[in-house]
Amino acid sequence: MLKLTTSKGMTTMLMRGVFVAALTAAIGFQATGLAAQGQRLWSIVAHFQYDSGFEFDYVVERGVSTEDLADHLAYCGSSHYIGGSVVRYHCYPVPE
């Protein structure tokens, strides 16, 4: 059986739509600004997790261009040795 839409339900749906539209616009404006800035630089960070539960982030490299980012991430991911108390690690980019 079909339910009639109440004004409260309609208001909730409209507010969600307005929120999503505003969020999408904000992301679009930010992306446009970043594209206008020119070349973007990144830092490569290695995240280590130890068997004791301790986690540690270490900046491996700074000033990596967007074009070279994939190569540097691949090298970072293959260059560390997991041994001893390190359970796992991964490398990720951070915009400068």
Domain boundaries, the chain: 7-38, 41-95
Q: Report yes or no on whether pTM surpasses 0.85.
A: no
Confidence of residue 51 (pLDDT cuts 50, 70, 90): confident
90-95 average pLDDT score: 91
Using the predicted structure, report yes or no on whether residue 84 has a pLDDT greater than 90: no
Query: If you write DSSP's letter for every residue of the chain in order, what string do you get?
Result: -PPPPPHHHHHHHHHHHHHHHHHHHHHHHHHHHHHHH-S-EEEEEEEEEETTS-EEEEEEEEEEETTTHHHHHHHHHHH----TTEEEEEEEEEE-
Each residue's pLDDT tens digit, 34-49: 555 668 899 999 988 8
Each residue's pLDDT tens digit, 7-34: 665 566 555 655 555 556 566 656 555 5
